[in-house]
Chain A
Amino acid sequence: MNVYLKNMLRFCIIILLQVLILDKITLRWWSEPSGFPVFIPYVYPLFLLLLPFETPVWALLIMGFILGITVDSFMNTAGMHAFATIIIAYLRTNVLSALLPRNLSEYDGQHPSIRTMGWMPFLVYSAFLIILHHFVFFSIELWNLSNFGFLLLKVVASAVTSMLFIIVYLLLFTRQSASRV
């Protein structure tokens, strides 16, 4: 399938998944007695993580902005998601070139996945960017550092849940593409 068409389709699927299903799930682990934060898993940055290796940084930035603003318009957060998404879009190339043995331009026509990178590098790559995204987003949302422990707890718990959902998504969709090839 054409790369542009494929990514456009993935954009729609991930946005709808995030907005229609994941936003409706309220996760509250041991919430009642200890006041553990309530949170939603944010899976939509996965779209940025899965763009092809040789995507230039300016294209990543613009797509990150569009992605963030779309999610913002559904969640009434005006710019907060976009802010966090642009940061990880900017850092994506650096993280990838630090983790991969060869130069990025040598991976022609491939996109980051468990198949092209291997389990460990891919998990480190996505976990780093997801935790960064969540940290930035939640600090903007709370907007005070007086309660730093609460913020960290919220970031870690959400990042772990988001990563679980991302792994499930990848397991579901990579198997399919492997059988097609």
Chain B
Amino acid sequence: MRNFILFVRRFFNLILFLALEIVCVILIEHTNTLQGNDIISSANMVSGLVYKKQSDVVYYFGLRKMNDSLVNENARLRNEIDQLHSVDTLKDSVVHRKLYSADSSTHIVKFADYVYRTARVINNSTNASDNYITINRGSRDGISKNMAVISGTGIVGRVEHVSAHFASVLSVLSSKQKVAAKLKDGTTGYIIWDEKQPDALIMIDVPQQVKVKKGDSVYTGIFSIFSPDIMIGTVLKTVVVKKNAMQLIYLQSSTNFHNLQYVYVIENKMMIEKKIVEDSSGKK
């Protein structure tokens, strides 16, 4: 026993060093799984508050740009509303569901599934190997894990940690997530991001024979957490991979991640129901 105490006293520093390093490794390991730990992330109260104060100050410098993009978005939305007015939904669609129980008119399902919430970006990173964005909405405002986040111009990411008033969003600029995408002609593929080419998104799994022109738009696919037909980016160049007769398509992201200020968080109301159906059929 005495030897043991002497041993501990002699190597106290080394033991403390190793103990602290083990704590760090455990922390790293926990966050690299999808569950994550919400304590040490910028969704926690203290760092959330500091970032909020900072964003309150910086906010004023971007107001002019913000106005321009809001006006553009309004114009686009007005155009879409006009187009919808002229469609006879009763004739064109097969499935209908009432929006509210008191409402006697019917609507196409697709438009009633998603709820949009606005949020302001209070912290933003674009140069780590997994980039996170902190927003000023949390579980009190109805945000929960795995909701999709978009900006006025394109996709942004997926909610990963939520606290009462803040949430941190794993952005598309990350090696941890793939986004289902489709080209104009309906060909589907996945979007990934590589740290070595930080300025481009890469679309994979596209067959070689599909012809793509520079400047073509790419949209989100149907099987993703995002609502379909949200812009992802435009084609910069294509590279053919000889090995498996596929091609890589390099995209210019339509969202400018460097000056994000407002985002929309999308809640998919049918997500839980869909998940239950998928799980129950998987069990057999």
**Chain A interface (Cβ within 8 Å of chain B)?**
16, 19-20, 23, 26, 28, 31-32, 35, 37-40, 57-58, 61-62, 64-65, 68-69, 72-80, 82-83, 86-87, 90, 140-142, 147, 150
Contact = CB atoms under 8 A, between A and B. Distances in A.
Nearest to B134: A76
Nearest to B26: A79
B104 interface: no
Contacts, number: 100
Interface string B10-28: 0011001100110111111
Contacts of A74: 42, 47, 50-51
Contacts of B30: 78
B209 interface: no
Contacts of A79: 23-28, 31, 40
A69 B37 CA distance: 13
Contacts of A68: 24
B46 interface: yes
B41 interface: yes
A65 B20 contact: yes
B196 A61 contact: no
A80 to B, nearest CB: 6
Contacts of A90: 13, 17
B129 to A, nearest CB: 6
Contact of A69 (B40, B125, B128, B258): B40
A78 B41 contact: yes
Contacts of A141: 128-129
A90 B18 CA distance: 10
Q: Which 4 A-B pairs have the closest CB atoms?
A: A79-B27, A78-B31, A83-B24, A79-B24
A58 B12 contact: yes
B52 to A, nearest CB: 12
B19 to A, nearest CB: 9
Interface in B121-152: 125-130, 132
Nearest to B44: A73
Contacts of B28: 78-80, 83, 140
B74 to A, nearest CB: 29
B24 A82 contact: yes
Interface of B: 12-13, 16-17, 20-21, 23-28, 30-31, 37, 40-42, 44, 46-47, 50-51, 54, 125-130, 132, 168, 195-199, 258
A23 B132 CA distance: 13
B44 A58 contact: no
A75 to B, nearest CB: 7
Contact of B199 (A32, A65, A80): A32
B132 A76 contact: yes
17 contacts: A16-B50, A28-B198, A39-B127, A57-B16, A58-B16, A61-B13, A61-B17, A68-B24, A72-B40, A73-B47, A76-B42, A78-B27, A78-B31, A79-B27, A79-B40, A82-B27, A86-B24
Given A26-B127, A76-B132, 8 more contacts: A28-B198, A37-B196, A38-B126, A61-B13, A75-B125, A83-B25, A86-B17, A86-B21
A38 B198 contact: yes
Nearest to A141: B129
Given A35-B197, A61-B16, A150-B196, A78 B40 contact: yes
A62 B44 CA distance: 22
Nearest to A64: B20
Most buried by B among A61, A140, A142: A61
Contacts of A142: 129, 195
A154 to B, nearest CB: 10
Nearest to B54: A20
A64 B19 CA distance: 13
A68 B199 CA distance: 29
A139 B54 CA distance: 30
A133 B47 CA distance: 23
B21 A83 contact: yes
Most buried by B among A32, A62, A77, A79: A79
Nearest to A19: B50
